[in-house]
Amino acid sequence: MARIQDRIGFGFRPSDAVSAIGKIVRAEEAGFSTAWTVMPALNRDTPTILAAAAMRTGVIKLGTSIVPAFTRHPLALATQALAIEDLAPGRLRLGIGTSHQRTMIAAYGLEFSKPLTQLREYLTVLRTALHDGKVDIAGEFYTAHASFQNPPGTPVLISALREHAFELAGELSDGGISWITPANYLTSVSKPAMERGAKRANRPVPPLIAHVFVSASEHRDQVRGAVRASLKYYAEAPFYQKMFAASGFPLGANNAIPDGLLDAITVSGSRSEIAESLQSRLESGIDELLIDVVPGDDQTAEEDAVFEMVRSL
């Protein structure tokens, strides 16, 4: 019988490469299936970190959630994936996404008029290179003519927020990764969209991976305050505002975040309460969970408490 840990990953934003590798080692010791490195467009390069972490670990899957795809050519990312596969065969899970318009335009000066169309093309080039070993595409955004010996078949997942992105995940990718999305939206909108995309492509439905905040604290108001602070950036983004509203949790005046939304994307409390809530999500149709430990004054202690809880499941 599969362990619940086999369907739970640990996600975090690396503040520096050295501590990030330490977190991945600790996540492996706790029994997590995957360590997911979260990469804002101007943060540490997570494929580089995962290559180093591959030399310190032996079992845990190494996932990116996500690499901002448009910051590099898909063939360049493919060559990075090949190097990691050499170091940790079969352990890389390569998540990619569009990142956010504000960063892509302001920092990189990139065109961002058709992000989902561009992501489709990027995904096609990258996955074809890694799965077929040969890609010959001249598209609207990318030209790629290349061949690779012994393609590793690295799973390529995409981040998804709204319905069309989840359809793309079902049609072409190896999984859809959500972010701060209530479970009811994932089961009523996201999962059916992935199923439609997969049916259109006549392929199995890839896994739906749900991001969820977790805290071992039983002080719910403190947990809500920490999560609310983490959501400030997203609450100002129109696409997230629309998703929150579609989930039944519209933001208030001045983008005020309702408690109901915080509770819908957060699991906290006693060990039994957390275990029950995680299990409920997995039984609802969500395939995997990406745990994001709620920020605290002593982040290592916060993580240790959650890690111990996961280890005991």
Sign of the dihedral defined by the CA atoms of residues 249, 250, 253, 256, in that order: positive
Residue 63 has a pLDDT of: 98
Cα 55 from Cα 75, distance rounded (Å): 24
Q: Enumerate residues 6+ apart whose C-beta is below 8 A from 22.
A: none
Given a contact cutoff of 8 angstroms between Cβ atoms, the answer to whether 266 and 224 are in contact is yes
Task: Walk along the chain (313 residues) in steps of 10 and give the mean pLDDT of each run.
Answer: 83 97 96 95 94 98 96 97 98 94 77 92 98 97 97 98 97 98 97 98 98 96 96 93 97 96 96 93 96 94 92 83
If one counts every other C-beta atom within 10 angstroms of the C-beta of residue 206, the result is 22
pLDDT of residue 5: 83
Coil vs helix vs strand at 231: coil
Distance CA 102, CA 109 (A): 10
Beta-bridge partner residues of 214: 267, 293
- Structural domains of the chain sorted by starting position, each given as residue range(s) with its CATH number in brackets: 4-311 (3.20.20.30)
Within 10 Å of residue 71's Cβ, how many Cβ atoms? Answer: 18
SS3 171: helix
From the list 10, 50, 3, 52, the residue with the least C-alpha distance to 29 is: 10
pLDDT of 188-214, one tens digit each? 999 999 999 999 999 999 999 999 999
What is the chain's mean pLDDT, rounded? 95
pTM (predicted TM-score): 0.95
Question: Pairing between strand 143-147 and 134-138?
Answer: antiparallel
